[in-house]
Amino acid sequence: MRLYTVPWWIESAWGHPPPLLVAMMGRLCQSYVSAVALAVIVLGPSIVSAALSSDRKASQAKDMGEGRPIHAVIDERIKVILDQAESDNDYTKASHAASVLFDKVLAWAPAKDTRSFVKVAYARRLLRQLRLARFSDTTAMLRYLRRNQKLARTLAFFVHPFESPAEIYRLVDRLRIERGDKLDQYANLVTAICCVHDQSLVRRVNENQVLAADPVELFDYFVRYRKKMYYGVVNMPPELLVFVVDSTATIGQMQWALQRYEGDGNIGDRFFEIKYDRNHFRYGSAKRVTIEGFNLSNILKYGGVCADQAYFAASVGKAIGVPAAYTYGRSGQLSHAWVGFFVARNKQGFWNFDVGRYNAYRGVQGITENPQTRQPIDDSTVALRAELVPSSVSDRHAAVAMTDAARRLAVLLQDDRLLSSDPFGQDVSRIMDQSRTVDSDQCLKLLEVGLRRCVGFAPGWQVIAEMAEAEQLSLDQKIRWSGLLLKFCGRKYPDFAFDVLRPLIGTIRDVDEQISTWSNAFKIFQHRSDLSASVLMAQGEAWEAAGRLKKAGECYRRVVQRYANAGPFVINALQNSERILVALGMADRVIALYRSAWGLVDKPKDAFSEFRKQSNWYQIGMIYVEKLNEAGKYRTAERAAARIDQVLGAS
């Protein structure tokens, strides 16, 4: 029971009573115990606990030694490495020295000391990138970056470790020469442009090809109109900004879009603003927009199909400063394109991938392009980037640094190598008593520290998948991290969660345990037809690998029976079912398998023949005809082929 309330002015100013007050009470007593007892009576147990905690922390800090903090020592050593690189122009040696220092920090720094990891990760990344860039005057670039620290750090932490930095830094060098006085102020914009436009950006929108503007012209556009950009370009994280600067509209067309739509963040409305060219969809006639010239103003004037609608909406979004993505997917009948765009509310953000995504496509994966790598990426992995919005720059850099550390430790673990146990230095404080061991627990500890700082940093989660594939995780670790992944990502970012989850569960050696874990995952993904089918396929593959073919066949058949009209994955399920039947000596049932599946899928309609050929009905029907011919059932095959021709020719 608290008998005395400390005045508000003491609590607000100190958080707990001044140490002097506690000391005075101690002098009134003959022993430390009686002082504490009196303090508990007068001040209350919670306040005394806080004071004693401060004493303990001070004692612990003293026990750590009187040497300099490790991060201060790291700063000195990095400066020596960078100075030497400027002096002798030997970036191979400098990069090696930074890597050695990184390993030293990895060996001795506590996982919670993210500041030390960030410092050394920055130096290691920067010098590696400069070493691989190999352009004429690397030292001039290093000096420039050391004078422009915001740009240097943004670049170093954003360029992917597996990405070739040569063309990126050549573009940085060009911007340095032509726009040098502005780059540090627009570090995020420069980084996004250089990582997207390090190679010419060319895209196809059905029959039309579009080419991005010159990168320097793009930089000038976004700087000139920075105050008109819906979300700005200065503070937006480069992970989002790449979906703004990857525009393939001309500068003139971007200006046209900005003049017309400035301040209107409802990018989804732009999709439906484009009238649909039904003659092209039904009969395959040439589109008017293609004849007149493919650009934004002509799309608005003449209309187009879903690909043109999605391209128009995404391009307008980019022109006005809204991250946007042309997205596509396939149902059981047709491919379709729609738009995804970023929305910010109350210091939070999310991606909207629902506009133009008709019901047939809500249960299948949406695919877009990663502007940085030019590789396909699913829409939920893009959506995960919205989690970066509430995080600070230091949080994002900490996540990168701790992921680098975990990945390095995982490489050492795979190669069965140890970290050096040589001491960091006698004058260094705040380090661990013993050097870090190379094991999966330490890897996961480092990753967890990074992900707690920035939970939306996808590469951190992907390291866990890499460790699972390398057989570096125990069953308990797989189950724990599967649970964490599903809790955070399962419902909000299902495609991303499934991609990370697949190796975590798929490498569980006990087949019954693996099947059970997949069944638990199925409950999370059951609202998505394609992911539910993927779970069943994974279970089938697990049973098949264990030699339990009948159970495998049951899983594949469930995919066909439940999801025949949901997406193209039913074709794989049929092919797997066929393989099982043959292995079980039931090859005579293969024709019946395809005949039954063909009867389950819907016929395509309201599209000209080339579109109808995308459908499951057409593709399964053609396989069925092929199997009939192989079996010598030519008349039945002819009737089935005639039926297909009739549907293709129908208008």
- In terms of pLDDT, which residue wins out, 121 or 346? 121
pLDDT band at 577, cuts 50/70/90?
Answer: very high
Point out which residues pair with 327 in neighbouring strands.
338
Is the pLDDT at 534 greater than 50? The verdict is: yes
pLDDT category at 243 given cuts 50, 70, 90 is very high
More confident position, 639 or 363: 639
What is the predicted pLDDT for the residue at 583? 96
CATH topology assigned to domain 528-651:
1.25.40
Instruction: Please say if the pLDDT value at position 78 is more than 80.
Output: yes
Tens-place pLDDT, residues 588-597: 999 999 999 9
What does the domain layout of the chain look like in residue ranges?
8-63, 70-163+392-460, 202-372, 467-521, 528-651
Rounded to an integer, the average pLDDT of 344-355 is: 88
Q: Please answer whether residues 261 and 270 qualify as being in contact, where contact means their C-beta atoms are separated by less than 8 angstroms.
A: yes
DSSP string, 581-636: HHHTT-GGGHHHHHHHHHHHSPPP-SS-HHHHTTSHHHHHHHHHHHHHHHTT-HHH
Coil, strand, or helix at residue 163? Answer: coil
What is the mean pLDDT of the segment spanning 182-208? 95
* Cα radius of gyration (the chain): 30
Q: Is 375 helix (H, G, I), strand (E, B) or coil?
A: coil
Q: Is residue 16 pLDDT above 50, yes or no?
A: no
pLDDT value at 63 more than 90: no
Spatial separation of the C-alpha atoms in residues 83 and 94, rounded to whole Å: 10
Q: Above 90 in pLDDT, residue 313?
A: yes
pLDDT of the residue at 360: 78
Query: What confidence score (pLDDT) does residue 609 get?
Result: 60
The pLDDT > 90 percentage for the chain reads: 72
Residues 313 and 8: their CA atoms lie apart, in Å, by: 56
Cα gap 175→219, rounded to integer Å: 9
Averaged pLDDT score across all residues of the chain: 87
Q: Is the pLDDT of residue 44 over 80?
A: no
pTM to 2 decimals? Answer: 0.83
Q: Is the pLDDT of residue 160 over 80?
A: yes
What does 276-331 look like in DSSP terms, one character per residue? Answer: B-HHHHHH-PPPHHHHH--SHHHHHHH-B-HHHHHHHHHHHHHHTT--EEEEEEE-
Average pLDDT for 511-531:
92
Read off the pLDDT of each residue in 606-618 and give the average, rounded to a whole number.
75
pLDDT over threshold 70, residue 585: yes
At residue 649, the pLDDT reads 76
CATH class for the region spanning 202-372? alpha beta
Distances (CA, A) of 571 to 61, 543, 544: 64, 19, 18
State yes or no: pLDDT of 51 exceeds 70.
no
> Count of CB atoms within 10 A of residue 605's CB?
11
The band of 48, judged by pLDDT with boundaries at 50, 70 and 90, is very low
Q: If pLDDT is split at 50, 70 and 90, which confidence band does 389 have?
A: confident
Beta strands in 19-134, from DSSP E residues, in sequence order: 68-69
Q: What is the pLDDT of residue 615?
A: 87
**In sequence order, what are the residues at sequence separation of 6 or more whose Cβ sits closer than 8 angstroms to the Cβ of residue 248?**
201, 202, 203, 210, 211, 212, 315
Tell whether the model's pLDDT for residue 53 goes beyond 70: no
CA 114 to each of CA 121, 158, 404, 450, 460: distance values in angstroms, whole numbers, following the listed order? 10, 17, 12, 8, 15
Look at 4-8, 34-38, 206-210, 366-370 and tell me which has the smallest mean pLDDT. Answer: 4-8
- Model pLDDT, residue 102: 97
Give the pLDDT mean for 100-121. 96
pLDDT at 31 exceeding the cut of 90: no
CA distance 100 to 78: 11
Distance, in Å, from the CA atom of 176 to the CA atom of 184, rounded to the nearest integer, reads 10
Q: Vertex 141, ends 137 and 142: CA angle to 5°?
A: 115
Confidence label for 395 from pLDDT (cuts 50, 70 and 90): very high
- pLDDT value of position 610: 67
Of the pLDDT bands very low, low, confident and very high (cuts 50, 70, 90), residue 604 is: confident
Q: From the DSSP assignment, how many helices (H) and strands (E) are in the chain?
A: 33, 9
Q: Report the pLDDT value the prediction gives residue 246, as an integer from 0 to 100.
A: 98
pLDDT of 384: 94
Least confident of 112-121, 276-285, 576-585: 276-285
pLDDT (0 to 100) of residue 358: 83
With a CB cutoff of 8 Å and minimum separation 6, the contacts of 269 are none
Question: Residue 427's pLDDT is what?
Answer: 80
In angstroms, the CA 24 to CA 482 distance is: 54
